[in-house]
Amino acid sequence: RDTETDLQRALKDNELTLFYQPQFAADGRTVIGFEALLRWIHPSRGLVSPAEFVPIAEQSGLITELDLWAVRRACEQSVDWGAARMAVNLSPVDFRMRDLVGAIRRILDETGFPAERLEIEITENLLLGNQPEAFASLTALRAMGVRVALDDFGSGYSSLGYLRRFRVDTIKIDRSFIQNIGQTDDAAAIIDCVVRLARALAITVTAEGVETREQLRYLQSVGCHHVQGYLLASPMPPSSLSRYIEQVK
Ligand code: G
Ligand code: G
Ligand code: MN
Ligand code: NA
């Protein structure tokens, strides 16, 4: 309750900011895009993680205001960053908004950000919830040219059925699998299998949470398209991004 009131104030007082984490081609060098990650710089508590405040904002519905703010800010800040894609996380709660698609269309119109460069990250829970309105919104967004990525793939109550019911553009393999490369044979086998599955369906695969050279080499060997993680680049404030932006131009 307290955090919620504080969050509302934070949004007004400009305490929220976006960090950007570069995403790379499998070579680990070519920047293909960025993921926008919400950060709350609290005057007394310091940096507050979204892991802490997103669940609270989801309970009150305030998350949708935060997420749409993030989409707008990410589009505004990156419109000049060459051809790089911008990925923004959406909460399943956002899909209960009456005109989510219209709101995103207006942001694209007003910022001049090309729909083709925007990717929204959703989680398996949204597709499993089987809300017809969510499927309709996702279909409308894709029809506009916005890409849809399935985040944290494999971490929840995964069902391959939804890959048939709804076509996504990208699968992001959950970092728990990446972190177990070289630790358990199972993780490597599952990643190999997910990459093959995705490739067979013409879906792009991103590995998240890449932290070691060994992990990167394995991901390259199985044909993973894109990689993201601390080994390559951490999330950073927009002021630190100029050298990455130069690379993608
Ligand atoms: O960046 P970090 O690892 O601290 O993020 C923690 C969690 O918060 C992740 O699950 C991430 O997807 C989520 N998150 C980060 N930014 C946003 C955002 O703008 N909107 C939503 N809904 N979730 C976010
Ligand atoms: O749930 P989602 O995938 O959106 O969460 C992204 C979160 O993962 C961000 O908060 C980001 O800070 C974090 N992250 C990014 N790269 C790495 C990494 O290499 N290792 C770990 N442990 N976390 C990472
Ligand atoms: Mn994400
Ligand atoms: Na993720």
Task: Answer yes or no: is 75 within a domain.
Answer: yes
Task: Answer yes or no: is 141 within a domain.
Answer: yes
The parent domain of residue 111 ranges over 2-233
* pLDDT digit string, tens, across residues 103-147: 999 999 999 999 999 999 999 888 877 778 899 999 999 999 999
Q: Ligand 2 centre and the CA of 80: distance in Å?
A: 25
Task: Answer yes or no: is 240 within a domain.
Answer: no
Spatial CB neighbours of 212, under 8 Å, sequence gap ≥ 6: 181, 182, 231
Is the pLDDT at 3 greater than 90? The verdict is no
- The pocket around ligand 1, CB under 6 angstroms, is made up of 37-38, 49-51, 54, 63, 67, 70, 89-91, 235
Total domain count, the chain: 1
Task: Answer yes or no: is 246 within a domain.
Answer: no
Q: Ligand 4 centre and the CA of 89: distance in Å?
A: 9
CATH of the domain at 61: 3.20.20.450
Task: Answer yes or no: is 47 within a domain.
Answer: yes
Provide the CA 108 distance to its chain's centre, in angstroms: 17
- The pocket around ligand 2, CB under 6 angstroms, is made up of 21, 37, 89, 151-152, 175, 208-211, 229-230, 235
Tell me which of 209 and 5 has the higher pLDDT.
209
Q: What is the distance between the alpha carbons of residues 96 and 73, in angstroms, rounded to a whole number? A: 22
Q: What is the distance between the alpha carbons of residues 23 and 31, in angstroms, rounded to a whole number? A: 6
Task: Answer yes or no: is 220 within a domain.
Answer: yes
What number is the ipTM of this complex? 0.97
Q: Which residues are found with C-beta within 5 Å of the ion, ligand 4? A: 151-152, 208
* pLDDT digit string, tens, across residues 211-228: 999 999 999 999 999 999
* pLDDT digit string, tens, across residues 160-191: 888 888 889 999 999 999 999 999 889 999 99
Q: Ligand 4 centre and the CA of 123: distance in Å?
A: 8
pLDDT grade for 1, boundaries at 50, 70 and 90: low
39 CA closest ligand 1 atom index: 16
Task: Answer yes or no: is 239 within a domain.
Answer: no
91 CA closest ligand 1 atom index: 22
Enter the tokens of residue 55.
Answer: 């669940």
21 CA closest ligand 2 atom index: 15
Task: Answer yes or no: is 149 within a domain.
Answer: yes
Q: What is the distance between the alpha carbons of residues 199 and 189, in angstroms, rounded to a whole number? A: 15
Residues linked to residue 227 through DSSP beta bridges, in sequence order = 24, 207
Q: What is the distance between the alpha carbons of residues 101 and 106, in angstroms, rounded to a whole number? A: 9
Q: What is the distance between the alpha carbons of residues 149 and 88, in angstroms, rounded to a whole number? A: 10
Q: What is the distance between the alpha carbons of residues 179 and 187, in angstroms, rounded to a whole number? A: 8
Question: 12 with 65: CB under 8 angstroms?
Answer: no
